[in-house]
């Protein structure tokens, strides 16, 4: 049943995501906004004992994405910084007096984690009409390939644990398999644009960087969930868990991919 629900969700959502990435602009913004708000809600719900300043987080996230869409990276940073102000004002107006450090920490963590991750994908999409679409596709499918490659290689050959205290199932052998799959996927998707976008060595470097970021993103969410003593961020996506469970790798891979592409002079 778990596998069936995963397949159904993937079949329904994948064409929708690809279509909205293709359209770009405000359509992709709407997808990022909706999925990001859901992921942020899941985090704040998991961390409710820390008393996150939920309204401040939502406002900061909204302002960050709107700022990015209207004014670029500098205005997204403005939205992220404004989260501190929103959180403090709401904290000051509240009758409840939780730990200020815990409340501010989890509120700002959520906004930076989710907004910066999804915002980076919007920046990659804006590279150009055609190249931006394929660049985002490369990030999405490379993350998936890295996860799939790591799973099967780790399950078959995995002997050496990567981070046993956080995620006992991950192995170094699986990581190597994931990197190989990611490099191959980035190469296959971007090869046709090698004369306009990234060279072959740059494609391979992008794939390797995305694979590393993908693993770190997954481990990061695992560490947060362990600390909050929850197994999944939610049940919205059936066998996939919650929205944050589905986005965790992407929220780290997006920024890394953007800055690798920027370093190669294409953003």
Give the percent of the chain with pLDDT over 70: 95
240: Cβ contacts below 8 Å, ≥ 6 apart: 5, 6, 9, 10, 246
pTM, to two decimals: 0.92
- Per-residue pLDDT band for 103 (boundaries 50, 70, 90) equals very high
Please write the tens of the pLDDT for every residue from 46-60.
999 999 999 999 999
Predicted local confidence at residue 1, as pLDDT: 44
Please write the tens of the pLDDT for every residue from 63-86.
999 999 999 999 999 999 999 999
Predicted local confidence at residue 111, as pLDDT: 97
Within 228-242, residue ranges assigned H as helices are none
Average pLDDT of every residue of the chain = 91
Predicted local confidence at residue 239, as pLDDT: 62
Predicted local confidence at residue 241, as pLDDT: 80
- Checking if the pLDDT of 6 tops 80, the result is no
Distance CA 227, CA 47 (A): 9
Distance CA 65, CA 118 (A): 9
Distance CA 189, CA 92 (A): 50
- Checking if the pLDDT of 138 tops 80, the result is yes
Predicted local confidence at residue 2, as pLDDT: 56
> Reduced to 3 states, what is the DSSP secondary structure of residue 264?
coil
Quote the domain boundaries for residue 14: 2-263
- Per-residue pLDDT band for 266 (boundaries 50, 70, 90) equals confident
Higher-confidence residue: 94 or 250?
250
Domains contained in the chain, number: 1
Predicted local confidence at residue 28, as pLDDT: 96
Please write the tens of the pLDDT for every residue from 212-259.
999 999 999 999 999 999 988 877 776 668 899 999 999 999 999 999
């Amino acid at each position: 049943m778990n596998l069936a629900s995963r397949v159904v969700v993937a079949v329904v959502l994948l064409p929708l995501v690809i279509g909205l990435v293709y359209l770009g602009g405000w359509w992709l913004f709407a997808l990022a906004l909706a999925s990001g708000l859901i992921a942020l809600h899941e985090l704040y719900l998991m961390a409710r004992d820390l008393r996150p300043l939920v309204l401040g987080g939502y406002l900061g996230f909204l302002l960050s994405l709107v700022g990015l869409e209207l004014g670029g990276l500098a205005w997204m940073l403005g939205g992220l910084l404004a989260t501190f102000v929103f959180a403090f004002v709401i904290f000051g107006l509240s009758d409840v007096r939780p730990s200020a450090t815990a409340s501010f920490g989890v509120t700002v963590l959520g906004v930076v984690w989710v907004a910066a991750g999804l915002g980076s994908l919007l920046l990659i999409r804006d590279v150009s009409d055609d190249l931006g679409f394929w660049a985002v596709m490369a990030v999405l499918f490379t993350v998936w390939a890295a996860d799939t490659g790591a799973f099967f290689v780790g399950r078959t050959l995995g002997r050496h644990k990567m981070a046993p205290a956080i995620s006992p199932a991950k192995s170094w052998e699986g990581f190597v398999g994931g990197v190989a799959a990611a490099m191959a996927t980035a190469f296959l998707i971007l090869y046709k644009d090698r004369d306009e976008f990234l060279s072959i060595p740059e494609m391979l470097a992008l794939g390797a960087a995305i694979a590393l970021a993908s693993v770190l993103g997954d481990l990061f969410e695992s560490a947060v969930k362990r600390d909050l003593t929850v197994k999944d961020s939610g049940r919205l996506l059936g066998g996939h868990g919650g929205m944050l469970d589905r986005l965790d790798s992407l929220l780290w891979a997006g920024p890394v991919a953007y800055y690798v592409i920027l370093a190669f002079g294409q953003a």
